[in-house]
């Protein structure tokens, strides 16, 4: 039996218009056999969560370069809960310019993985797959 493709939403919430990293990660995940929905830059928090629900994604990847990662991620996780999107079923990954000191805070919100500049793309793919398998096993 053929296994369904992992569905990934890549989003750039807020006013950040720098999208090269998000586009690159989207391509890498597609090359790894995942189905990727890329929403483009400057997305509202509401549109990110709405798209994730409509597309029934397994993974949400958030890309940040502006320094608003803590605020936007907190709001996204809050809205996910309000809309009935379970963090124990959906992998949440954050990437971009993320200070090391903020990683524990992001993980306390329910973020499964944080990737900074220079992250090995093979590790990103492996981490996403493993995090999803872990959630599916319960």
Range of the domain at 114: 7-137
Looking at the 3D structure of the chain, how many domains does it have? Answer: 1
The CATH code of the domain that includes 93 is 3.40.50.280
Instruction: Confirm whether pTM is higher than 0.85.
Output: yes
DSSP 43: B
Could you tell me if residue 84 is left (phi over 0), alpha (psi between -120 and 50 degrees) or otherwise beta?
Answer: left
Q: Is 36 domain-assigned?
A: yes
Using one digit for the tens of pLDDT, what is the confidence trace for 87-134? 889 999 999 999 999 999 999 999 999 999 999 999 999 999 999 999
Q: Using CB atoms within 10 Å of the CB of residue 137, give its burial: 0 to 12 exposed, 13 to 18 middle, 19+ buried.
A: exposed
**What are the tens digits of pLDDT across the range 39-70?**
999 999 999 999 999 999 999 999 999 889 99
Domain-located, residue 2: no
Residue 22 lies in a domain: yes
Q: How far is CA 77 from CA 56, 88, 119, in A?
A: 16, 11, 24
- Would residue 121 count as lying in a domain? yes
């Amino acid at each position: 039996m053929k296994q369904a493709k992992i569905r990934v939403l890549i989003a750039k919430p807020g006013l950040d218009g720098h999208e090269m990293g998000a586009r690159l990660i989207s391509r890498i995940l597609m090359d790894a056999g995942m189905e990727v929905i890329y929403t483009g830059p400057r997305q509202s928090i509401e549109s990110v969560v709405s798209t994730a629900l409509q597309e029934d994604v397994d993974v949400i990847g958030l890309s940040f370069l502006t320094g608003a990662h803590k605020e936007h991620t907190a709001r996204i996780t809050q809205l996910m809960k309000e809309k009935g999107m379970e963090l124990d079923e959906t992998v949440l990954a954050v990437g971009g310019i993320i200070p090391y000191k903020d990683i524990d805070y992001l993980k306390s919100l329910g973020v499964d993985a944080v990737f900074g500049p220079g992250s090995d793309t093979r590790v990103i793919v492996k981490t996403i797959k493993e995090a999803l398998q872990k959630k599916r096993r319960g």
